[in-house]
Amino acid sequence: MFGVGATVGTGVFFVMHEAVPDAGPAVVIAFLLAGLAAGLSALCYAEMASAVPVSGSTYSYAYATLGEIVAMGVAACLLLEYGVSTAAVAVGWSDYVDLLISNLFGFGIPDALEGGPFEGGVINLPAVVLVVMCAVLLIRGTSESAMANAVMVIIKLAVLLGFSAVAFTAFSADNFADFAPNGVTGVTAAAGTIFFTFIGLDAVSTAGDEVKDPQKTLPRALIAALITVVVIYLLVAVSALGTQPWQTFSDEDQAEAGLAKILENVVGAAWPGTILAIGAVISIFSVTLVTMYGQTRILFAIGRDGLLPPMFARVHPTLRTPVNTTVVVAIAVGLLAGFVPLDSLWDLVSIGTLVAFIVVSLGVIVLRRTRPDLPRGFRVPGYPVVPILSILACLYILSGLHWSTYVWFLGWLLVVLAFYLFWGRRHSKLNQTLVGEVDDPAAGPAPGGATGPGRMTDGGGRS
């Protein structure tokens, strides 16, 4: 449910209207291409999650297999993808909230409260409110967050299935005639834009410290989430493309709350769009909740290793959640969502996700060579072909991203690595521990241990 909650929503509610103008009806191929790369990576994630079942996802896997400085590079990717995507999704949520209020009550949110200063407004208030609500829920506890997410995921899937059923009543094969207007280049670019939505697979692995029997349950969750996500994406994409010419997806009136507009055009009434808007509001809430959860657990893991100030590694003695970390994430994401235009940053999130997936696939190969004896609840089938294909597929999608995306990404990476070299390295618990006291780097330390990835503790050694 965490994997589906963090993935299904962004790809169909927002990004499709960014990707279709690039690929045309061939966006279906772009979804398949992104799903194939994500599927190969998911198999690698499943093995790593069963071998290193701790919080921190790709950061912890890189720490255990490739070393501390590589892990900090991966941390830069994860913080970028989780932070920006959470804020961007919250901004998109406000569009559906505005449509819902308008349809139900006849008036919308004032422009000054639905956009930041760069967009002619003052603050995107609904986006900030969403971030605060998610933060409160995460502070209350993981089990409460998981239950709320599960309910929202069920509603989300029901609404999207309902959308497909209605959209197929207006399906016309003629809308697929000009299948790939921009050729292979357009499909690759669309796949790069879409790929960040598969961040949910990484979000599953951030829960390693907080699930039962992670060696078995994490691989199952990853594969089940991937199958569910790809099926839903394809179903919604095909049904939506069949209702109108692909050029219509770039119309200004579909830039916000696009799927709801499609339903309103198909039925000729506002009520189906209102129902979809309700589903979108609930759906996007779950995406924001899970991606914020993932970012707090990654920061917790980095702080536990001494690479961030100790406050990031503290767990509340009663609530058993990293309250400090959650508050910091909520403030940072809330500022981004409330004041910064994020529409152009989807590709920046994708590059972070792709690099993280490449590191996980490489980590499988390294760990097979360095620790072949390590117990694994799941093994990648077709090793080493599958990890290599995963790396190649991610590199291919990376090739379709614009050069400016690489410039911004490298700039952010240099900032994080500079912080590590000037501060993190000197405070690293790994560097402060005698060689004889170092725990198994692949399995992670015992609760409260001083080195590498371990179980969630409150800083006093209590798991």
What digits encode the pLDDT tens for the residues 147-195? 877 888 888 888 888 888 888 888 888 888 888 888 888 888 888 777 7
pLDDT at 443 over 60: no
Q: Enter the pTM of the model.
A: 0.74
How far is the C-alpha of 201 from the C-alpha of 157, rounded, in Å?
Answer: 17
Domain spans of the chain, in order of start: 2-437
pLDDT for residue 9? 65
The average pLDDT across 79-104 equals 82
Q: Which of 99-108, 258-267, 402-411, 436-445 has the lowest mean pLDDT?
A: 436-445
Give the model's pLDDT for residue 448. Answer: 31
pLDDT level of residue 445 (50, 70, 90 thresholds)? very low
Higher pLDDT, 440 or 288: 288
What is the fold, at CATH topology level, of the domain defined by 2-437?
Amino acid/polyamine transporter I (1.20.1740)
Residue 435 has pLDDT above 60, yes or no: no
Q: Are 14 and 284 a contacting pair, CB within 8 Å?
A: no
As a whole number, mean pLDDT of residues 89-108 equals 81
High-pLDDT (> 70) share of the chain, %: 85
Question: Residue 432: pLDDT band by 50, 70, 90 thresholds?
Answer: low
Provide, for the chain, the percentages of residues in helix, strand and coil under a 3-state DSSP scheme, each rounded to the nearest 5: 75, 0, 25
* % of the chain exceeding 90 in pLDDT: 6
For residue 4, give the nearest of 219, 222, 240 by alpha carbon: 222
